[in-house]
Structure 1
């Protein structure tokens, strides 16, 4: 059974055709800079058609879609039906950079005969306790408006956490902190592959500093900017999602560029990196306290896997927790699964390449067979 997986980002569409039995990837690609000048496609529908023309649908049994936000409406993978699509539309505002784009692809392919199954990033966080997912807000906000922490990047955190546990010969007690550091960034604390806390919240805006998203901030800032600065709520939402983070701090959102500017002595880029790293360190420290210790720290995604400098900056302040890097291994690491710990480190520090497409294909296979 071949599964065509679509992993939609705000301006990208990754795709892979995967043999569900052998887990071999037969075709894979990326449609980049969607909707941008000089980009590969004018919109996400056009991007999906490019992928389909490359893969073909003759041998595809089912299409799997990564959906960032499933809310409390979708607790497991769902076969696309009119009712499912109607419910999915109600979640657009909870993940404004991703859900509308992914949904547009699903709706654009409804007319084809190939079944479609949705896989939700939020599903991995169903194991969070109320103490972890509830906010200290009025009860009716939660009961009537579903205001709670949902968590995101779930397929990535689940995949790399399971790989880490296998790599360290761990078990159901293994304490893992996974750092998904890409354009979006999040941290998750897990025990034995079950999530117990995560940094993103009701939307992907909460938590770590990201490429264009602010991460944590005083909620009164939103009120200040609407009540006293005269901004409309939509303008504040757009600024916090698209104009903040690294971009807001130094004018660049690409980590590689920001690091180059920092190395040349640029003060705004240096501040941006300092804030970015400090937020990660604070999160790791709080999770170690919750977990009661740590067995492995995992770096993944574009920045996490490929930036030795960010890994070094994060870990150099964590040595009192038993986290210590081999500078040589960290500098030369280029594998999808590598231990970059110093020989005397009490905590294993790993670089694990995420494979969201394979994780999605596994979930789609199981749902299709059920």
Structure 2
């Protein structure tokens, strides 16, 4: 059997998943939260057929939750190993052949899954200047994992890697070229692991050759991005130098005139740090409606709440703008897919996002769109020349698959 342990390390969290790559299943997963705070929370969930031998037989998953102080990521990794030992599955019997690590920013250096050594660690740390909220946290998880599993292959899978196929016209900002080169200012794009996985799943579901398809993938979660994909390669994407640019998100602005921030700095006397907090943590749906969760926005919309209504219409307006722009860049489109928390669950968002494309024959079937379902599925009308799909993303599976190629 081939098992891969997937690690997604945040600034105060450690998310993990043990994957059986032969069976294409998840054996166990967990989340360790509030690392470095007074009271950490550990949640460990085991699939029904992978429980501790002493557990009561059942096909249902079992969830174990504990609270304890966890000083740092090294201790978090030790706690994770304790939970595998106590609750299963035993890592002695499910020994990983590789550990796959999600790394947010690979800059222009990393365009494929990469074996982690001391030099790669150093470069991931250096790229922290481009992703200060993410790369240092990713690196902390890598260091803890390499210490715990010194004899196992460790592989970095970069969010930005899928977008390394962007042409200069797509990734270049129109600023002073020398300054941009000096400080590595360009579009990098993010959510690449999800966009790659979803586009490949869509092609497989349709029984089409991915190399022949023009696809648009909307990854709509608390963070949101859209990518135009031609022949399996990213040709345009909404996020830029950082994960801030593009669509309206839970707490992030998405696109905004840079001069608006200069104006606020001068007139409202906001510092660089104040502006950073504003655009990343106090904007998006939260800034417009006072709530960052689309479910709450939709509830407000149903009640006729003015702020929620404005937030929803701004959100959808941006989706439509990008859909039109990317269809133009692709010269047409064969498949449009929605994924992630909002994309997979908010039928009204999906319907409204594509409502203005009926002139192209693209129609969302109301019954299909609102029907309950968890797997990949059609939501377009049978006569629609463009397939519109809901495709559940599985970034952990994609990270595991890429890590296994180097094991």
Matches within 5 A, 1:235-254: 235-254=274-293
- The 8 Å contact of residues 108 and 164 in structure 2, kept in 1 or not, is answered as no
Task: Tell me which residue corresponds to 1:273.
Answer: 312
1:312 aligns with 2:351: yes
The answer to whether structure 1 residue 336 and structure 2 residue 375 are counterparts is yes
**Structure 1: any 5+ residue segments left out of the alignment?**
none
Residue number among 232, 236, 240 corresponding to 1:193 in the alignment: 232
Equivalent in the alignment of 2:103: 67
Any idea what SS the aligned residue of 1:177 has? Answer: strand
Q: Does residue 130 of structure 2 align to residue 129 of structure 1?
A: no
Aligned to 1:208: 247
1:55 matched to 2:84? The reply is yes
Moved over 6 A (4+): 33-39
Scaled by the length of structure 1, what TM-score is found? Answer: 0.92
Encode CA deviations 1:268-313: one digit per residue, 9 max, x unaligned.
1111111111101100000001111111110000110011121122
* Cα distance change of structure 1 residues 341 and 134 upon mapping to structure 2, 3 Å threshold: same
Aligned to 1:352: 391
Equivalent in the alignment of 2:198? 160
Report the alpha carbon displacement of residue 232 of structure 1 after superposing the two structures with TM: 1.7
Report SS of the residue matched to 2:219: strand
Cα shift readout 1:158-206 (whole Å, capped 9, x = no counterpart): 0000111122232222110000000100000001211110000111000
Once the two structures are superposed, residues 111-168 of structure 1 have per-residue CA deviations (whole angstroms, 9 ceiling, x without a partner) of 2224422110111011111111111111113322211111100010000001111222
CA apart distance, 1:314 = 1.1
Change (3 A) 1:333 1:98: farther
3-state SS of paired residue (1:104) = helix
More divergent stretch after superposition (238-247 vs 224-233): 224-233
Q: Residues of 2 paired with 1:323 and 1:47: CA distance? A: 48
Inter-CA distance 24–286: structure 2 relative to 1 (3 Å threshold)? same
**Is the Cα contact below 8 Å between 1:69 and 1:122 reproduced in 2?**
yes
Higher mean Cα deviation, 91-100 or 111-120? Answer: 91-100
Give aligned pairs, total. 368
Contact map agreement 1:165 1:192 (CA 8 A) in 2: no
Which residue of structure 2 aligns with residue 20 of structure 1?
21
Secondary structure in structure 2 of the residue aligned to 1:73: coil
1:105 corresponds to which residue?
141
SS in 2 for 1:135: coil
Gaps of 5+ in 2: 43-69, 86-90
For residues 206 and 142 of structure 1, what CA distance do their matches in structure 2 show?
A: 17
Pick closer, same or farther for the CA change 1:66–1:260 going to 2, 3 Å. same
Question: 1-side partners of 2:120 and 2:280: how far apart?
Answer: 26
Matches within 5 A, 1:271-310: 271-310=310-349
1:227 equivalent in alignment to 2:266: yes
Range moving further from structure 2, 330-339 or 152-161: 330-339
Larger Rg: 2
SS across alignment from 2:112: coil
Inter-partner Cα distance in structure 1 for 2:262 and 2:179: 18
1:87 aligned to 2:123?
Answer: yes
Range 90-99 or range 255-264, more displaced: 90-99
Deviation at 1:239, TM superposition (A): 1.6
Between the aligned partners of 2:359 and 2:35, the Cα distance in structure 1 is: 44
